[in-house]
Structure 1
Amino acid sequence: MKLPELRIGNLIARVPIVQGGMGVGISLSSLAGAVAAQGGIGVISGVEIGFNEPDYSKDKRQANIRALKYHIQRAKEICREGIIGLNLMTALNNFDEMVVEAVKSKVDIIFAGAGLPLNLPKLTKDSDTKIAPIVSSGRTAAVICKTWDKRHQVIPDAIVVEGPDAGGHLGFSREDLDNPSTHLSSILLEVFEAIKPFEQKYHKKIPVIAAGGIFDGKDIAHLIKCGAAGVQIGTRFAATFECDASQEFKNTYVRAQKDDLTLIQSPVGMIGRAINNGFLKKVKAGDQKPVKCMSNCLKPCNPTQAPYCIAQALINAQRGNMEGGFAFAGVNAYRIDRIQSVKDVMDELVEKANLYLD
């Protein structure tokens, strides 16, 4: 048995690997284009994507739209035959507008997490853009499928199932993280059962993509054997030459030790997994002073109570100012020991996955 292709409607990825969307500015056109060129699905993060535009502080809305169009076009120029996706947090204040603009730019697929994207089909109706919600339970998958079926007469083109070992914001409580029922393989089975009635009704298969803490080919092979149509990997691609972040940001992963990985309470009210550093230690100690809202980016964020602006912290980190920010990371980030090219990472993942699938 060899790694199968990942088919999402008429989109066919030669390698069933989706590069996770990482913001702010970690996965833009350079990384997404490089992954697509190697046969996977490259994904641009749409969160505050216009942060490097000269008018970002004055006209954030237009800066984000302009940058979104630029990076989708550039990624497609890097890999003209590849698949380019966009990752958007449903909790974004500009979620609807960014979806509409992405569709106009003919992005191939939109991955939507951090909330229930119940109206996403309305925004992509009559377009070729595929839509894939990101879920953390069979219950959530069922709610989305039921709502999309009832309101829009469609079901997801694919579903990403993200387990508790992922980096970034997690769809779990602290108590759930160590519960065996929240292991990725267990959640996959939940989701398979939850979507079965909708697959039967629409006479089509919904490819399920496993995500969260996936590091090597052995992990990929295991999840393919569990029934996943593909996998989503983020952290491995953050430590690549093509990653859109600064060198200092990438070095954070190379230097990270197992004990450096920590859970944080994000200003948006969710827990997240990150690499501990001086900035996060100040936050935990209460030494990080509240600041005014820089970007008004997320619906759940209350600037009057937040200890820091998460958008600014992530932008600082992207630019290499780790004293003013931090890096999100999956549970296996400490296993990264060098910066690699996207091609080398993809080749290594495919070779070892095929070995374990034999």
Structure 2
Amino acid sequence: MTPRNEELWFMLRDVRNLLSHLRERRPAHGQPPALRLWAQGRLRCLDTNTADPQLINPFDPATTQRVYAYGHAHHDGNGITAPATQLIDRPMLIATLPVGYGSDTDAVLNRAEIENHDTLSITILNGQPHPSSHLLPRPQTPGRWHTTEVALLGVPGTFRGQYLDNVTADGYAYVRLPWTAVQQLRTALGELRELPAGVASMTLPDLSVDRPGGHGWYPIGNGWPWVCPELVGPGTLLPYLQTLGDDHGLPQYGQNTFTTSDMLLWLDQHGSLLSRTMSAYGQPHPGEAPAPIDYASLPVCEQLRLRAIEYTLRTAAATTTTVTGLAALFSPAEIEELILAAAQLATGPEPLTGSQNTLIQRVHTALDQHI
């Protein structure tokens, strides 16, 4: 009797072991390479159609390597899946899945490799197999509080507080503060002309009613744009000095950027973080459009890091004078040297130094490039 419609899940790592052996051996009778799905009573397993099957025990031809589906395995009593040779039910072939170039199974396996999936799912509908790949559902890790400086976007200064390491609100941290920091935050919000986006008016906790969390910490502003600046990680904050401009999906000339080993990050006109992937040569990949950050698809630690980078860029934009044009090509010390050189040329025949002449040559070169 053909099994009813069902969905079976297999450990992808074990399936790849089967496929590796299949690529090293020819299928039987000149057939195209394929995975075969078998049913034996309640058991479900995959093997291959190779003429020389891989054996668990090289001296026992009955120990053909199989991959059993979750919940449909046969065990030898020691926690190891094993061939079910003593069962009355005879194995029955349910489906064959070609694995050659261009097959549906091959496309699924390639996608699983790219997206780091760990299971192969085979859904049987009306006798036809439909493969797909997935991540195994994982339990939420227990949260831990970490003490650090926390900041609220749009509010000056930082506060000594704690953040939770297993959950975010669109990348923003869940934060709790000691009583003194709660008072400082309330004062800081009261001094603002208008509240930052995402921040609501705040009242102090009533100490006779609201009990603090562990060790006297008060959860404050769940869902507010809390960030942890110290989580910014390795990287460099520098103005962008390429001349392609934002028409090419890059930051504007002189705009603050944050560069990591594999990403170029900057803020758009709305203050949202954009990213471009960096090549091994330290340049953005050509033809790639800047992408907003999809925080929900990232691990919590990466979400917190990117929000810290966003805070760093916002702070730099608010606290420093943006240097644009030719001035962005020179450091403050070099600009001062150029001013002195101009004064010397205007007031007398005093010769310029070698470094001043070099800087003037750089100015002429930059002018030629910008004209």
TM-score by length of 2: 0.19
Q: Which of the pair has more CA radius of gyration?
A: 2
TM-score by length of 1: 0.19
Which of structures 1 and 2 has the larger relative contact order (alpha carbons within 8 angstroms, sep 6+)?
A: 1
The structure where helix makes up a greater share of residues is 1
The structure where strand makes up a greater share of residues is 2
